[in-house]
Structure 1
């Protein structure tokens, strides 16, 4: 008797794993059980193709991140649920990747829908085209195109989805999305990325949902900056509108750290990224701190997650999230706190403790987001915290989420 799982077995096991953690609408579940991810990843062992992880399909020649990759299947499923494609929909996808997501979209909008997927890299676009042909989705339109420009010749679209990270909503996309149409994109602000589901209402995009995610950034947007206050071992990732000066921070780690602890605790499987999200709705000093192994060996206090933890930076001082495991609560063994460096490190640490404490009282709460064209005057913006980008103005509304 042969107990080796078939391709159908592998695919169904993956889908079972995904829906055990997040129930999905029946059409999306069926699409995931139908489309063969292994055929979009030729040469990869099928057992690996059907694991819940990302797969790089093209390395970036000028950086550590991939140029293109097949996204984590559970993230693909989550974003499809946010987009909620319907039969007959006309959808634009930015970031063709392997073509797998376009095939799923084609399943969901058939028989009368249209899918257009675009990618700036000719090799990636060719890969997607060949995979879609190989899997029976020849009718999906694949274009080699700068994703920031969209595909206006086939607009309007009643749904758009980006499978690359965006720092801003490009101005060219606004008129390509039909009024009342849905847009899902991995949007980055203050060093963190959320898959944001938005609905267009005239000249305003209104958020319906936000989910934590991570994506390869789109080519051509340069709104995020990296500041290095520790000579290559600690990096701060922040937005261009934040006045973070590396010269002011040059000696920040020469000062003794100040640690403060909140009463908030988390379990080993419990996310605390909501602290970061809610802080961005109040505080313009929020950014991401990345500490290398060398930094930790040099004595820098370990951030809660060394590669990506929220921090607050002002002038010549900073503070960031830390965690410490204790044995007093087996359900939530890790206590959250803040460490501050620099003359105002204590003040910033107190601010971060306030964000942690407020988050801990309602851990599922999230700010409401609206996005407006860059030329929208202040008088036409709703009440809330404004973050200005190159092509848009983001307003985070925090009703009921006081600090």
Structure 2
């Protein structure tokens, strides 16, 4: 169960993840060089997943999957724009095939030459447009307040429902594979299911940390001492609680945390929290990170490790990594259309972050692809 930071009660609205109400555009990491042996295509797709789009390109252009590069996966139930690289040798075939591609819901918006093939992660982030329906006027004041907090204070970087499959149980299959209780011939599917299990553990850890932060925010030092001991099964000293409550941000940095320069830079570990590091987080210059557990990863230490231990699994043989625990949406704007009871949102998120988590943070409850919440 995911826990959210800014509301004690839920807000209800209707959200449909569709091409009309959910629009995603990739933000490239850098400008294209306009020379080289590759073509970078900016493609708008509708009703297609990224693998389905790649298969269409392979069929139409007569190339192999490994010749096509892409930076990230984009939702099927959305109108999405992303960048794809193909060999320059396919240019003539591409020009001849644009009508065919258009008939298959693929429209090429621009073409540039570039030195290298696009690889996973080669993007700055994504911009989003989302339309919410059945938004009640009496909820607007609270909605605007939460959106302002998200804009200035950030939001949790949970993995969204898309990560866990139609029935939300992919992580259970991944856990069985990691524990040697299940084996699949399809290595790609096996890796995907294990990554779903890693994502589940990350979400559980992040929810645990947000619960800590909620207690620190809403209770006195003495009450927080008792609440943390009872509900989180961890005993902090009164001095530790006082120091944590003194941080300006909702999400608290702990001694021993892994931190990352934001939005780009290096990962580093903080032995003991200082006022300087707390201020850097408050200014959006660094963020705490959580573990996607696996091999060859350095764990946090001290208090941060205490809050991490229950969400580690030494049986995961895949490589581990770190992920932002907290992100700061950029250019967040919103508009209420009273006659339709619609709320339109636009914003940008760093790569790997889910727009639907912003909606969940607003609603204070979990969503699915088509939800009355």
| TM-score under structure 2 length normalisation | 0.25
Q: Which has the higher contact order (CA 8 A, sep 6+)?
A: 2
* Structure whose residues are more often helix by fraction: 2
